[in-house]
Amino acid sequence: MSTPTEAAQSRAAFLRSLGLSATVLSAIYFGIACSKPAVSPAPDPTDGTNSEALAVGATDPFAGKIDFTLDLTKPDNAKLKTVGQFVSAGLIVVAHVKDGSYVAMLSVCTHASGSLWYRVSQNDFRCQDHGGLFTTDGSVKLAPPKQAVKIYSTTLSTDGNSLRVVG
């Protein structure tokens, strides 16, 4: 398992591969190096855990349209049948949220590109890097982020065994 700094550097390398400008990359690296909190908030033991989903389709929001399906009968995806659990499919985090619906969100914080995880105890998405919070509709709940994060539409199959994400 990678540390938050390694994960952030990996994300920055990914963004660099997309051809982002030196200015944008500098802002990302500056954010990584200079704006870490002195103490990371402790995880809530009642919250779900993240894992990598097995997705069929396009999961890269920077490569074009998002359109993928998660087979919820597969072991890596089955946890999504439980409220409060979430998985990452590429750069998209998919959560089974408190009201029983599904939320798919770009897992790139609008502050400095930290990863977002769902917290069922608070019914929000928390950035691992500096503790920014987003509501389930993508709005900012707590700074430092100032801009909303992108949300994708989700459709659960009638048998409840597959979840399509489009956006």
**Which residues contact ligand FES by CB under 6 A?**
109, 111-114, 127, 129-130, 132, 144-145
Q: How far is the CB of 108 from ligand FES (least distance, A)?
A: 9
Cβ-based neighbour number of residue 125 at 10 Å? 26
Q: How far is the CB of 67 from ligand FES (least distance, A)?
A: 26
Nearer to ligand FES, 68 or 117 (CB): 117
Question: What are the CA-CA distances from residue 145 to residues 27, 37, 73, 108, 153 (Å)?
Answer: 14, 14, 35, 11, 22
CB-nearer residue toward ligand FES: 96 or 130 = 130
Of the pair 79, 111, the CB lying nearest ligand FES is at 111
Q: Residue 4: in which H helix or E strand, if any?
A: helix 4-17
Least distance to ligand FES from the beta carbon of 110, Å? 7
Decide: helix, strand or coil at residue 88: strand
